[in-house]
Chain A
Amino acid sequence: MTPVRTRIAAAVVGVGLVVAAPAAAWAGPFRSGSTTPTTSSSTPSASTLEALRTKCLAAIDVRLPALAEAKADVAANQHVTDDHRAALTADIDATTARLQTLSDEIKADSNLATLRDHCRSIFLDNRVYALVLPRTRLVVGADTATAAGAKLSDVADKLAAAIDKAEAAGRDVTQAKADLAAMKAQIAAGTGAAGTVAGAILGLTPADWNANHDVLQPARQSLLTARADLRLARDLAVKIRNELKPPAGAAPTSPAPTGSPQA
Chain B
Amino acid sequence: MTNAHLPRPIRPTKAGRLALVTIAAATAGLLLAGCGSAAQSPSRPAAAGGAASTAAAPDPSGAPGAPTDASIPSAAGSAGGKAPAPATAHPAAVATPAAADPAADTAPGVADASRALSDLDTQLNDADRDVATPEGDLQ
Residues of A bordering B, CB below 8 Å? 4-5, 8-9, 12-13, 15-16, 19-20, 22-30, 52, 55-56, 59, 62, 73, 76-80, 116, 119-120, 123-124, 127-130, 133-134, 137-138, 140-141, 144-145, 147-148, 151-152, 154-155, 158-159, 161-163, 165-166, 169, 216, 220, 223-224, 226-227, 230-231, 233-235, 237-242, 244-246, 252-254, 256-263
Chain B residues positioned under 8 Å from A152 (CB to CB): 109-110, 113
Chain A residues positioned under 8 Å from B80 (CB to CB): 73, 76-77
B97 to A252, Cβ gap below 8 A? yes
A166 to B16, Cβ gap below 8 A? no
Whether B53 sits at the interface, judged by CB under 8 Å, is no
Docked pose: A52 CA to B136 CA in angstroms: 13
Chain B residues positioned under 8 Å from A161 (CB to CB): 102
A261 to B96, Cβ gap below 8 A? yes
Output the least CB separation between A63 and chain B (Å). Answer: 10
Chain A residues positioned under 8 Å from B19 (CB to CB): 9, 12
Docked pose: A80 CA to B105 CA in angstroms: 26
Chain B residues positioned under 8 Å from A130 (CB to CB): 130-131, 135
* Given the contacts A20-B27, A147-B116, A231-B65, A78 and B123 also touching, CB distance less than 8 Å: no
Which of A129, A224, A260 has the most chain B CB atoms closer than 10 A to its own CB? A129
Beta-carbon contacts of B95-124 to A below 8 Å, as 1s and 0s? 111011111111101101110110111011
Pick the contact of B96 from A20, A24, A165, A259 — CB < 8 Å? A259
Sorted nearest first, the 3 A-B pairs with minimum C-beta distance are A26-B34, A263-B101, A141-B123
Secondary structure dominating the interface of A: helix
Chain A residues positioned under 8 Å from B116 (CB to CB): 79, 144-145, 147-148, 151
A129 to B133, Cβ gap below 8 A? yes
Across the interface, name the chain A residue whose C-beta is closest to B59: A231
B117 to A140, Cβ gap below 8 A? no
Docked pose: A262 CA to B91 CA in angstroms: 11
Whether B6 sits at the interface, judged by CB under 8 Å, is no
22 examples of A-B residue contacts, CB within 8 angstroms: A8-B20, A12-B23, A52-B138, A76-B82, A77-B119, A79-B119, A133-B126, A134-B131, A137-B126, A144-B81, A145-B120, A148-B113, A148-B117, A151-B112, A159-B106, A227-B121, A233-B113, A241-B106, A256-B95, A256-B96, A258-B95, A263-B100
